[in-house]
Each structure stands twice: as structure tokens, then as C-alpha cells.
């Protein structure tokens, strides 16, 4: 018996397409870049809100990409394939290694909504008070809050 597998490409006609005025616009000034970036982010927000988008898969994929960036930044040679294998091919009692541990931290971080409690569970090496201070660093819109939180994390001495 042959089972019909859904083709993920079939779902593309359900999701809204990026308007052409965003992708084909000619950038004249820095304000144009900011406006078009905001329009693209807004469109991404709308698409991610669709029920057809598999949120758990997307979170796991973003965690893999974030872990890959962190591993590359630390100077290790592992890339996405090796990170994925290091975690998914673990046997009970095995250790994932330094790069696999980074990926596991990112996977735990994206399992739940961003909160002090969830991040404390994902990153047990950091004090809860420090995480709370980082999350409270930003004011205003989402992008400015993210930038301020990132600045707080990077400027905090280890």
C-alpha cells in the first residue's frame, strides 16, 4: 500500500506572497532601506502567523542556524549537518561535545516563549537576575528592544 505524502511546495499558494513593490523598489536613501526592511519584516510577521506554517519545525530550524553561527563565531569547524548529527545520533549516556552542547542550548531556548524562567532553564550557567536585566534592557518597538537587549548582553562582563 502506498501512502500519499503531502508535498510542502503545494502549501506555497496558501501563504501570502511578498508584494513586488517591496522586492523591486530602488533604494535611494537610508530611509528607503529602513522602510522596505520594515515592510519585509511586517510581511514575515503575517506569514509566520498563518496556521499552515509548522511553528515547531521553524523554531528548530532557526535554533540550528543560531547554533551554527555561534559555533562558527567560536572558531569551531562544525556546521549545520554536523551539529544536527551530533544531537540526533546521540545514544543514552553520550555527550554531544562542545558544538552539540551549543545546539542543545539553542533548542531548549526556542521550546518555550521568551521568559526569564524559560531562558534560565535553557542556559543554567547564567544567573536569573542577569537574564532578567537583559530582557528588561529595551524600551519601545520590537527591533529597538532587541537591539538594546543585545547591547546589554554584549556589554556585560563575564
What pLDDT is stored for residue 152 in this prediction? 79
pLDDT band at 25 (very low <50, low <70, confident <90, very high): confident
Indicate whether this model's pTM tops 0.85. Answer: no
3-state secondary structure the chain: CCCCCCCHHHHHHCCCCCCHHHHCCCCCCHHHHHHHHHHHHHHHHHHHCCCCCCHHHHHHHHHHHHHHHHHHHCCCCCCHHHHHHHHHCCCCCCCCHHHHHHHHHHHHHHCCCCCHHHHHHHCCCCCHHHHHHHHCCCCCCHHHHHHHHHHHHHHCCC
* Mean pLDDT in residue range 72-83: 90
Residues 92-142 have pLDDT tens digits of 888 888 899 999 988 888 887 778 888 788 778 888 888 888 778 767 766
Q: Is the pLDDT of residue 74 over 80?
A: yes
- Which position has the higher pLDDT, 39 or 157? 39
pLDDT of residue 89 exceeding 80: yes
Mean pLDDT of the chain: 81
Amino acid at each position: 500500500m502506498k501512502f500519499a505524502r503531502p508535498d510542502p511546495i503545494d502549501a506555497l499558494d496558501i501563504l501570502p506572497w511578498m508584494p513586488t513593490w517591496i522586492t523591486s523598489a530602488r533604494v535611494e536613501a537610508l530611509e528607503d532601506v529602513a522602510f522596505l526592511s520594515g515592510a519585509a519584516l511586517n510581511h514575515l510577521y503575517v506569514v509566520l502567523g498563518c496556521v499552515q506554517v509548522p511553528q515547531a519545525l521553524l523554531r528548530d530550524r532557526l535554533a540550528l542556524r543560531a547554533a551554527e553561527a555561534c559555533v562558527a563565531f567560536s572558531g569551531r569547524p562544525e556546521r549545520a549537518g554536523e551539529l544536527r548529527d551530533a544531537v540526533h545520533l546521540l545514544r543514552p549516556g553520550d555527550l554531544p561535545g562542545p558544538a552539540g552542547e551549543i545546539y542543545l542550548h539553542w533548542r531548549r531556548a526556542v521550546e518555550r516563549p521568551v521568559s526569564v524562567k524559560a531562558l534560565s532553564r535553557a542556559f543554567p550557567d547564567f544567573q536569573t537576575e542577569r537574564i532578567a536585566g537583559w530582557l528588561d534592557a529595551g524600551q519601545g518597538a520590537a527591533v529597538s528592544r532587541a537591539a538594546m537587549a543585545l547591547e546589554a548582553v554584549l556589554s556585560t562582563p563575564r
